[in-house]
Structure 1
Amino acid sequence: MTEVIVLNHQTFTMHCSGALFWEEKSTLVVSDIHFGKVSHFRKHGAAVPQKAIQKNFDLLENIVHQFKPKTICFLGDLFHSSINSEWHLFETWVTKTDAKLFLIAGNHDIISPLKYEALGIVVISEIVTQGFLFTHHPEEREGLFNFAGHIHPSVKLKGSGKQFLKLACFFKSNHQMILPAFGEFTGTYSLQPAKDNEVYVITKDQVLRV
């Protein structure tokens, strides 16, 4: 279900949900949930089942229960667009967690920061700590290892014939790790690994290095 990696003498656990847990700081890092996207699709006539709305909240709650983080850092695109019915579910979820919440604002985060601050969520542009840089868009900054989202990375695995399997992944280079999108119906973007990349694909119940 998980895979552990050590960076700068710090321990990070990759979970098959796409979440990343920083052990020493008891911090859960989650990227690109896109709450509200299912409701947005349904509003515009897409045949997305109603139960898909609750699925993201249940998954997040299960991850929080498993790791019991003191801090949760959202790497942007927490909400897909403007406020809709899923905001009330989000408010309810927030009241259930004792963790300190941070949102690194992404390009989809157009809801007023005042709405988040009213829930006790700190909205910022980035976090720099202990040689790590946490952002929404991938960045390169000298002397820092970057954790980012935005890309929704995936890779294509080829079979013995012409078939292939496309899987979301944690995509790591020497100075950066791009997290997979946590949310359902977010889509992915295929990346082509280079020799110095490490790729950890996620399945329903596993994280596997390929």
Structure 2
Amino acid sequence: MPGTPTKELLIKEELFILSACRAVYWPAQKMLILADLHLGKTGYFRQHGIPVSRDVLQDDLKRLSYLIGQFEPEQVLVAGDLFHHQFNRDILVFNEWRNAYRQLAFLLVPGNHDRHLKIDYSSLAITKTTEEYFVKEFRFIHEMKAAHEDHFSISGHLHPGYTIKGKARQAVCLPCFINAEDYLILPAFSGFTGLFTGYEQQSGAAYFVISGESLFEFR
């Protein structure tokens, strides 16, 4: 992770820094932005007899700790689906991690998974926002069903993937950011998610594709 590539974007005269660690930093607000961590998903699979390594969650939290150390934010904003399922051991692991960063404000814009869970957010020092959260000229929302007339939208939910085709019918699908004129869609932060490629590609949109710890731009 040290030296992980970044890409700077100027959006509405504000600087945003995209990281190959699947997050965005907004320096003016000292805000680290990510989406779709899906805490509890690996625990849910294990409870149902499907062997999923606990290293998945540890790797996700290690990457988040790296980003906090790199950018030194004052707040972390999760654009939905911080949690995946009801309370299980994964939540305890997250709580231990959260205790090491209690000085950080932690905001959750609720996603489709978060809305239906009975979780005591206050015990985890998490502030749950409205389903649309506005800061200056930016709207944070989990699932962007339509662009906003007056605000630039930053969202998650889609788990966007980008397919790169090679010779001999070889192809690989990788997580990506999608940056269009009036929105930015974040990759799923968790390494334990599927990738969706069925979105409509817009003319002029940029796709920042993550391969390991590298970041490539396609248009």
TM-score (norm: length of structure 2): 0.91
- Which segments of 5 or more consecutive residues in structure 2 lack a partner in the other structure? none
Match of 1:59 among 43, 57, 63: 63
Check if 1:71 corresponds to 2:79.
no
Contact 2:86 2:118 in 1 (8 A): no
Amino acid at match of 1:143: D
Q: In the TM superposition, what are the counterparts of 1:132-151 in structure 2 within 5 Å?
A: 132-138=138-144, 139-151=146-158
For the residues of structure 1 that align with 2:110 and 2:196, how far apart are their CA atoms? 20
CA 1:48–1:119 in 2, change beyond 3 Å: closer, same or farther? closer
Match of 2:192 among 185, 188, 204: 185
Give the % identical residues.
29
Amino acid at match of 1:179: L
Q: In the TM superposition, what are the counterparts of 1:78-89 in structure 2 within 5 Å?
A: 78-89=82-93
Check if 1:11 corresponds to 2:39.
no
How many aligned residue pairs are there? 209
Deviations 1:136-179 (A, max 9, x none): 01141101100000000011111133111111100111101110
Q: Which range is displaced more, 178-187 or 46-55?
A: 46-55
Query: Counterpart of 2:164?
Result: 157
For the residues of structure 2 that align with 1:197 and 1:89, how far apart are their CA atoms? 38
For the residues of structure 1 that align with 2:127 and 2:29, how far apart are their CA atoms? 17
Match of 1:122 among 111, 119, 127: 127
Check if 1:201 corresponds to 2:205.
no
For the residues of structure 2 that align with 1:50 and 1:73, how far apart are their CA atoms? 24
Residue 117 (structure 1) shift: 1.9
Residue 192 (structure 1) shift: 4.8
Query: Counterpart of 2:137?
Result: 131
Query: Counterpart of 2:177?
Result: 170
TM-score (norm: length of structure 1): 0.94
Residue 105 (structure 1) shift: 0.5
Q: Secondary structure at the match of 2:68?
A: helix
For the residues of structure 2 that align with 1:53 and 1:25, how far apart are their CA atoms? 27
How large is the RMSD of aligned CA atoms in angstroms? 1.4
Contact 2:77 2:109 in 1 (8 A): yes
Amino acid at match of 1:175: D
